[in-house]
Structure 1
Amino acid sequence: MNLPNALTLSRVVLTVPIFALLVYEKWQWALTLFVIGALTDYFDGFFARRLNQVTKSGKVLDQIADKVFVNSILVALIPQIPAWLVALIISRDSVVSAVRILAASGGIVVQANIWGKVKTVLQMTLIIFLFFENALGVKISFIEATFVYLCAFFTLSSAMIYIFQNKKALGG
């Protein structure tokens, strides 16, 4: 296994201890591990390009790792994160995964685009913000609400863009 794929898989592995830390309300430790996991999302791609180790399997693993990592933590944060947002994010990810599967059946690899990356960064930022709020014992409702609605907007927008960009793979 190459370094980029090992970094990608580390996000999946980190999901379990972060989830457990949230159950026991160990916010600072959860924050630390989450930030480490979020950084691997950047560094796996960086090293894949830098070491010329970009692979089809790495592209697929990266997308799966992102979904497992972020969506599991979002579920753990309900009701601090509205359940409707978590349902929207998981539904969007399921639709995009279906588009990717259909495209793959036709020999097409659907890569992440900038809008999906913005969505992921916003979701990770919302999670980090909530960890900070809980660790510090403060609540800044306006900023929290802003992140929630930005996440919702980019979740919907990125889904529509993926569908539109890949309509040939969907038979349209």
Structure 2
Amino acid sequence: MKMTLPNILTLFRLLAAPAVILSFLILPRPFADWLAFTLFVGAAVTDYVDGYLARRLNQVSKIGTMLDPIADKAMVALALLALAVWSPLAAAVVLPGAVILFREVFVSGLREFLGDVAGTLKVTKLAKWKTAVQMIAIALLLAHGAFNSNLGMAVFGMDAEMVSAVLDGSVDDPVGVRGKLFRAEWSGYIGLGLIWLAAVLTGITGWDYFSKARAHLGED
């Protein structure tokens, strides 16, 4: 494998996928949440940068072309797994996550079966929007876990009455409980909204790919 800059970035994205899971297995929270968030955002950025550099520097390679979609799918799948296991919103993430993963497996299977005519399943603009919404949603949900863990550390040792007094402004808020709660709530609300939107777009694009492939699935 020729180690061009685009290929190095693709490898980073591929290795960052299991590192998201390892961060939760090895590190205490909220450090695990922040590392997972940083890895995922870094990987999402390289998803655009490596393709741009490969074209700009004329360094498009077969290995890079092969690894790029694998890295994308691994990053999304393992990040969704981490959210389903460790996110405070796990129960609400499982169903849209399952829709997203089912579509990825289904479309990958179609492409493999179609072989030489897989070019009929070109990436559409809607699919690109789906990917963008998906990435933002997962990043926000990982951030929600980090904010939520920070909130838990901030109120550690306080009873419910004291927390209520801090939130309604009756007492001072030296550790920023109100700000931490605001960030935790809104990152969760927006992240959940976007992950469900991504699931809807995923279903639409999956059906679109299947419709295009039907002409090649008939029996002789």
Q: Give the alignment's TM-score, normalised by structure 1.
A: 0.85
Whether 1:155 and 2:157 are equivalent positions in the alignment is no
Match of 2:52 in 1: 46
Change (3 A) 1:6 1:113: farther
Deviation, 1:72, is: 0.7
Retained in 2: the 8 A contact 1:4–1:58?
Answer: yes
* Residues 61-118 of structure 1 deviation map (CA, whole Å, 9 limit, x = unaligned): 21111111111110110126521222111110011101211222x3544443322222
State the superposition RMSD in angstroms. Answer: 2.2
Match of 1:19 in 2: 21
Retained in 2: the 8 A contact 1:3–1:44?
Answer: yes
Q: How does 1:45-124 map to 2 (within 5 A)?
A: 45-78=51-84, 79=90, 81-104=92-115, 106=116, 108-109=118-119, 110-124=121-135
Provide the rounded CA distance (Å) in 2 between the counterparts of 1:5 and 1:67.
16
Provide the rounded CA distance (Å) in 2 between the counterparts of 1:56 and 1:164.
28
Match of 1:33 in 2: 39
Match of 2:158 in 1: none
Q: Greater shift after overlay, 136-145 or 62-71?
A: 136-145
What SS is found at the alignment partner of 2:58? coil
Gaps of 5+ in 1: none
Retained in 2: the 8 A contact 1:7–1:44?
Answer: yes
Match of 1:8 in 2: 10
Retained in 1: the 8 A contact 2:14–2:71?
Answer: yes
Provide the rounded CA distance (Å) in 2 between the counterparts of 1:159 and 1:29.
32
Q: In terms of Rg, which structure is larger? A: 2
Provide the rounded CA distance (Å) in 1 between the counterparts of 2:36 and 2:197.
23
Match of 1:132 in 2: 143
* Residues 17-52 of structure 1 deviation map (CA, whole Å, 9 limit, x = unaligned): 221223443222221111111111001110121122
Q: Greater shift after overlay, 125-134 or 51-60?
A: 51-60
Would you say how many aligned residue pairs link Structure 1 and Structure 2?
Answer: 171
Deviation, 1:152, is: 1.2
Residue type of the alignment partner of 1:132: A
How many percent of aligned residue pairs carry the same amino acid?
34
Retained in 2: the 8 A contact 1:102–1:170?
Answer: no
Deviation, 1:56, is: 5.0
Residue type of the alignment partner of 1:6: I
Provide the rounded CA distance (Å) in 1 between the counterparts of 2:67 and 2:124.
15
What SS is found at the alignment partner of 1:52? coil
Change (3 A) 1:61 1:116: farther
Retained in 2: the 8 A contact 1:74–1:86?
Answer: yes
Provide the rounded CA distance (Å) in 1 between the counterparts of 2:114 and 2:63.
15
Q: Greater shift after overlay, 159-168 or 49-58?
A: 49-58
Provide the rounded CA distance (Å) in 2 between the counterparts of 1:65 and 1:168.
30
Whether 1:166 and 2:213 are equivalent positions in the alignment is yes
